[in-house]
Amino acid sequence: MRIIIVDKVILSLKAALADSFVFYYKAHQSHWNVEGVLFAQFHDLFSKIYEEVYDSIDTLAEELRALDAYAPMSTATLRELSSIEEESITRDARGMAQALLDDISIVMKSLEMTYHFAELEHQHGLSNLMAERQDAFKKHRWMLRSTLKE
């Protein structure tokens, strides 16, 4: 039973890392490509979001290594592990913000799953990290929701 839970911790953490990385990239590409009347506001918001998420990615990968697992080694593997759809169209600023807002629920699910399996395995440091990441994404969700309100 213990090996199965450890495997689930590793698999869910890989998904959380992949979802976080793809989300980071989408926020960063939104920062690069945003334009329009509200350019400065959205450019700054996307910057705050991608910088915060980027700062967490190394920690997630190191948690995998601490579990004696390898972090994904290619962007193809990250895409396979992530449930977030990549952008293939250019959106306006509000569309970019809405896409990120929609993706937060996906990231939150992978963080919650990792939290659950980490707790079952008594990996409280990892579960604490997942709780912190959930709080960070709650803040991103709030900022995006508030920005999109009419």
What's residue 108's pLDDT? Answer: 98
Look-up of token digits 């911790």 = 9
pLDDT above 70 as % of the chain = 97
Q: Is 82 exposed, middle or buried (0-12, 13-18, 19+ CB in 10 A)?
A: buried
What's residue 106's pLDDT? Answer: 98
pTM for the complete prediction?
Answer: 0.94
Neighbours of 65 (CB within 10 A): 10
What's residue 3's pLDDT? Answer: 65
CB 5 within 8 A of CB 114: no
DSSP string for 87-103:
P-S---HHHHHHHHHHH
Average pLDDT over residues 71-83: 95
Domain 2-148 in this protein, CATH class: mainly alpha
What is the tens place of the pLDDT at every residue in 95-150? Answer: 999 999 999 999 999 999 999 999 999 999 999 999 999 999 999 999 999 999 98
Domain parsing of the chain, residue ranges? 2-148
CB 44 within 8 A of CB 31: no
What's residue 37's pLDDT? Answer: 93
